[in-house]
Structures are given as C-alpha cells and as structure tokens.
Amino acid sequence: MEVLKKSIQYVKGVGPKRLTLLNRLNIFNIEDMIYHFPRDYDNRSHYKNIKDLQIGDKTTIRGVISGNSQYIRINKNRNIVKYLVRDNTGFITITFFNQPYMRNKFKPNDKIILNGQVKGSSYGLEIINPAYEIIPNLEYKTKLDSINPIYPSTEGFSQGQLIKIQQNVLDMVKNKIIDYMPENIKKENKLCDLNFALKNIHFPDSVQALRVAKYRLVFDEFFLLQLALMQFKNQIINNKNTVPLKSNEGVDLLIDSLPFKLTAAQIKVLQEIMQDMEKATPMNRLVQGDVGSGKTIIAIIALYKAVINGCQGALMAPTEILAEQHYISLTKILRPMGIKIGLLTGSLSKKEKEEISQGIKDGKVQIVVGTHALIQETVHFASLGLVVTDEQHRFGVRQRAILADKGNNPHVLVMTATPIPRTLALILYGDLDISIIDELPPGRKSIKTYGLTLDKRNQAYDFAKKELEQGRQVYIVCPLVEESENLDVSAAIDIRDELATTYFSDYEVGLLHGKMNPKEKESIMKKFLKNEIHVLVSTTVIEVGVNVPNATIMIIENAERFGLAQLHQLRGRVGRGHSQSFCILLHNNKSETAKERIKIMEETTDGFVISEKDLQIRGPGEFFGIRQHGLPDFKIANVFRHMKILKRAQNQVEILLKEDPNLSLEKYPLLKSKIQEKYGYFQGI
C-alpha cells in the first residue's frame, strides 16, 4: 500500500514546475494521480471508411497516399501542403498549415493512419493537421490505434505530459495495489480486479476492458460511501448517549386543540419521531413530505415534547421569512401553553440579539427559531434537546452537525419537501432514518395546471387579471438564463416593466431576484405577504417554502427551461389557501422532452411521481441541484447514469449488514481500513 502514498514528486518526469501544476489539479501523491480519471476518451481504435465520414466526426482512418503533395505558398509566412488519401471506399484531402517540411513527408502509395476532425471544404471532405503515422501495411497496429485518455487538466499542462506521467505512475504500481474488496463480493457482483480496473480506466486494452474497469470503480465509489454512511449511522446508535425524552404530558391535549385533525400519515410519522426521542440514543431522522403535507405541525409537536421534558428546542430555517413564519405558527400554538419562544435572525438589532442569546443561554427561551444565525459561535444553549432543520436541502451535512454540536447529542430532525426516490435518499441521507408523509390534508384543491405556448401568453395574463380583480395575488417566475445571472435579472426587470405598464397597470407589481441583498428580498416578500404587492415577478429565488395563501396563480415563463422537480417546487407556492389555484406553464413547444414535462405537470401533482419521472427524463446532475445535499463528490460514479450499479452496491451493503449487523467488518480488515482511510472524517462531524 505504501507506494500509493508516496509523493508525486518522486515520479519520473515530475519536476518542480509540473509538481505545482499537479498540485493545482489536487494531485499530491501517487494515489491521487491514479484516481485522476480521464474525463473522456479519444477512441482511435475504430476505423471508419472514408465514404462513411461526416463533417464534424473525430475519426481515425487507414488509407493510402494518392499521388504527390500539393504545395501552396500564400505569402512569406503562410503556406499549405495537401495530399489526397484514398481507401477502398473513397478519397479525402489532408491539409497541413505552415509545415512546409510535410511536402516530402509521404510518397505515393505510402500506407498511413490518420486521426483528426473531418471538415467540409471546396475540395469535399478534408482533415486539417491530422495526427499521422506511416505503417508498413494496412493491418499494422500502432499507438494511434488505441483508446487514449483525455484528462481534466490545467493551463500549461498538455495531455501528452499528463499521459506520460500517468504511464510512469502505473508502471511503478503495476500489480502492487492491494485489492481491499473481499473475493466473495467481487465474485457476487462480477467485479474485476482492482489493478486491472485502474490500469484499464486510463489505458484500456479494449472497449470491453474499459467497460469492466469502469463498472468496478463506479461500484466501489457507491459501495464504500454507502457502507461508510451505514457504519456512521450505526455508530451514532451504538455509541452516543443522550437524554431520553419520555414524558408526553399534554401532547394529546395539544393535538386536540389544533384547528384540524392530523392526517394518518402525520400521526404515523409523529409516532416514529416520538419513539426516537424516547430512546437514550439520539434521533437522526429525515421527514420527507410534499409541499403542504403539514410538516410544520409535526416539528411543533416534537419541539413541545422536548420542552415538557425540560429541554430546549431549536428550529432552523433557510431564510428569514421562513423563520418568521415558523415563529408565528409556533407562537400561535404554543404560547397559550405558557412556552417561551424566541426568534433569532440576522436582521435583529445587536441589542435584540444579545437579549435572545442571553435567554437561550440561561434557559429562559425554551424554543428558538432562526436562520443560520443560530449556528454562530456566540449562541450557547442551556440544555438543547432537539434540533429541527427545515428544508434540509439548503443546509449541508456540516451545518446540521454544527447545530447538533451545540447540545449534548441532541435529537435531530430534518424536514424536506424534496421528494426523493428511496435509492437516492439512501445515499444522500444514508446516515438518517427516513419517514415519509405520503398524504395531503383532506379538502385540498389540487392546483390546476395548463401548458400554453408563448404566443398565447396574453391569455395567461388576462386570466391572471381576473384573479387579481377578485383580490388574489399572482406569481410570475422568469427562467434562469444559464450563461449569466445578470441576463437573468435583466429579463426579469424587462418582464416586470412591461407588465407594470400594460396588463397590470392598475396593480402593484414587485420584483424579486437573486442579485438583491437579503434585506431587500425580505422587504419585498413581506409586502407581498401583506398584499401590498399584487403581482410578484421573480427569478427562481422564491423556490423555498414561502407561504402566501392569497396567491392563487403562478405563471412560469419559458417553462421548458426548468426541470420537472423544480417546476413542482415552484408550483407548490400556490394552492396554499382555500381557493382553487392555477399554474400556467408558458413554453416554446419545441423540444420533445419539454412537451413531456409539461404534460406530466398537467397530469399529476404528486411529488414522488414527479421526482421518479424527473430521474427518468432529465440528464445527469440536474436533479434538484444535487450538490446542495452536501454529498461528497464522486470521481467517476454518477447517481443518475449509474442508478443500476448504485442499487447493486446498496444491495451488497444490505447483505453485509445482515451478516455483520454492526458493520464492524472484522471479517474484512482491508475493507475496514479502506473505509477508515476514505471516510474516517465522518466520525468527526
């Protein structure tokens, strides 16, 4: 194993300058280099017939030089050499710019291999400055005749140099890497040997070998992370102690006093939470429930339970508005029971902050609601027993852990409206138990959704006007313009200006976008909440759980640019009151996928159905902005593209867990130390 940890500076071909460049690529030792996987491959092993070539192809051909070169001198500094190359199927021109020595490079009837990109020209097809090699016969195998890696690189570092260093490194470790994967697991999952995988991921012997290598490495990434997450979870259960919160005094009364009956799904989830809180090991639970499924009340009851057991509770929300809304709900329900509730956000005055902080410290404040102001160093709790974070996907694992660290292993409850299929949830939230609220409170009118092509947008605005006349409010969401946030903002400004002077000239039209500072955003949202703004034009910043029940219509401009899951989240901003709500998706009707998405949105409002479909029809990496989940970066695995391998790896972890419930991995010491090495830091957070 030692050899892997050796500094990269000892590798042949690495001098001080290249060392700096390698470091810039996060490569410090031999192992980093080996795990610096190609981002793509240049597959030169498939020859094409000239007649099948198309403009734009990157291709390799074998052919014969047909006749002598043609030399064209344009001026002193510019010249061109051309040859005609033929195979059994046709002719192609090859052209070299400013390489006069190429004039005599080939003789008629030389056999050559060429690699390059096919362009169109007045001569027909042409390859400019191709890579070439003269070969003795047309069956001859050469270096050009292979699958070559293309590496992520940095300025001043050529592919050739990287390839050379990689080759040297692989020579050094050849067959010396100890495979940590137990034989039975390899056999069961048809995994190749690690040495084979690491060699072939860089310099594949064949397309098949590359596939096999990739499969092994993708499997490993999923498997190791999933195993580490499960182990981490077990450690929490086995090793951490906390105060069990056993009393339920008044919980039933509280539930009876609510203006509504809890749904069966809410009751089930609440029971799971209460059982967790009564244990002497900390709860680590994720509650998933679609927008409007009633997660807040669950959090409130859990916080209440913490308080009657003599502990404090904290509720953390991603924005001030959300925190304030939660504060209002908590106050309404819990203040009559004599519970002291505090609000801590960034916009309080220094004095107010100090006062609240003091109250939290001496225990006078029993429940505190806030933004991430809560996780600042200055905040200390007297006895923190429960931490709830709302809309988890805005908080990373780290922030969650910092807040939990403020108590003595408090119970942790995480709430999210992001519906995630089980496979993904297992790897995104592998350290958490999962509860699902799979039912909406009765009597909800489902949001009526219509797709409308952009040329009919006036119909959408006319319709919105009718709602406004009834005293309702309107959201208009402008798309993300990918290239630049500035363009985004200017598109939103344009739409606001246009609408404020035309359709909605009798109403107050507000604007909200990501370039505004938090204070400005909050102030606009507050005005919208108070119905001082009637139409709110915004970029996607409104996505997170804001509740304005009087807003009944949402118009989404260029809906084809949004993913399904995102459309679903946006749509969830309406339909929060008693009246029928509407969502109009303006789209350009061009792409098939877009049409499919719009149709799905028209047909269903079930977040889980939508997220499954989203996975099916969206490209990789787009799902809900996966990075927000605080997942470690994968080097080669991709949760979307490799869903099947992910399932397989999870399956294998489950099998291990059955035979070794504590995942102590005593039977597999190599695997154990690999996990420790790669994910040991989990224990620290």
Choose the contact partner of 292 out of Mg ion, ligand ADP, none; CB within 5 to 8 A by kind.
Answer: ligand ADP
> What is the β-pairing status of strands 367-370 and 341-344?
parallel
CB of 600 to Mg ion, least distance (A): 24
Amino acid at 270: L
293 or 357: whose CB is closer to ligand ADP?
A: 293
> Site map for ligand ADP, 516-555, x if CB under 6 A?
-----------------------------x-x--------
- The residue number with the shortest CB distance to Mg ion is 545
Binding residue (CB under 6 A) for ligand ADP from 19, 262, 328, 348 = 262
Nearer to ligand ADP, 270 or 365 (CB): 270
464, containing H or E segment: helix 457-469
Q: Site residues for ligand ADP, window 549-568 (CB under 6 A)?
A: none
Binding to ligand ADP in span 162-181, by CB under 6 A: none
Which of Mg ion, ligand ADP, none does residue 566 bind (CB under 5 to 8 Å by kind)? none
Sign of torsion over alpha carbons 102, 105, 110, 114 = negative
Nearer to ligand ADP by C-beta: 246 or 332? 332
Work out the burial of residue 420: count CB atoms within 10 Å of its CB; fewer than 13 is exposed, 13-18 middle, 19 or more buried: buried
221-243 CB burial, b ≥16 within 10 A, e <16: bbbbbbbbbbbbbbebeeeeebb
Would you say the C-alpha torsion 476, 480, 485, 491 has a positive or negative sign? Answer: negative
Residues from 392 through 421 that contact ligand ADP (CB under 6 A): 417
Residue 406 tokens read as 């403020």
DSSP run (H or E) holding 69 = strand 58-73
Considering the complex, state which of residue 391 and residue 557 has its C-beta at the smaller distance from ligand ADP. 391
d(CA 302, CA 304): 5
Q: How far is CA 306 from CA 35, 337, 388, 539, 629, in A?
A: 47, 14, 11, 38, 27
Helix (H) or strand (E) holding 168: helix 159-173
Nearer to Mg ion, 38 or 545 (CB): 545
When the beta carbons of 192 and 265 are compared against ligand ADP, the nearer one is: 265
Q: Which is nearer to ligand ADP, 123 or 260 (CB)?
A: 260
String marking each residue 433-472 x if it binds ligand ADP according to CB under 6 A? --------x-------------------------------
Q: How far apart are CA 572 and CA 591, in angstroms?
A: 25
- β-bridge partners, 313: 367, 386
For residues 446 and 683, which CB has a smaller minimum distance to ligand ADP in the complex? 446
Q: How far is the CB of 385 from ligand ADP (least distance, A)?
A: 22
67-71, Cβ contacts within 8 angstroms, sequence gap of 24 or more: 67/108, 68/108, 69/102, 69/103, 69/104, 69/105, 69/106, 71/100, 71/103
Residues numbered 276-315 forming contacts with ligand ADP, rule: CB under 6 A: 289, 291-297
Q: Which is nearer to Mg ion, 266 or 652 (CB)?
A: 266
Give the list of residues 6+ apart from residue 436 with CB closer than 8 angstroms, or none. Answer: 265, 269, 287, 288, 289
Minimal distance in Å, beta carbon 322 to ligand ADP?
Answer: 9
Using CB under 6 A, which of the segments 133-141, 162-170, 261-269, 553-561 binds ligand ADP? 261-269
Strand partners, 344: 370
Whether 322 and 299 have beta carbons less than 8 Å apart is answered as: no
SS3 41: strand
What does 353 bind: ligand ADP, Mg ion, none (CB cut-off 5 to 8 Å by kind)? none
**Range 241-260, binding ligand ADP (CB under 6 A):** 260
Gyration radius of the chain's alpha carbons: 31
By a kind-dependent CB cut-off of 5 to 8 A, residue 584 interacts, out of ligand ADP, Mg ion, none, with none
318 binds ligand ADP (CB under 6 A): no
| Closest to Mg ion by CB, 295 or 613 | 295
CB of 683 to ligand ADP, least distance (A): 32
- Give which of Mg ion, ligand ADP, none residue 297 binds (C-beta under 5 to 8 Å, depending on kind): ligand ADP
Minimal distance in Å, beta carbon 248 to ligand ADP? 19
What SS3 class is residue 341? strand
Task: Kindly state the number of chain residues that form the binding site for ligand ADP, as judged by CB under 6 A.
Answer: 17
User: Which residues make up the interface to Mg ion (CB under 5 A)?
Assistant: 545
Binding site for ligand ADP (CB under 6 A): 260-263, 266, 289, 291-297, 417, 441, 545, 547
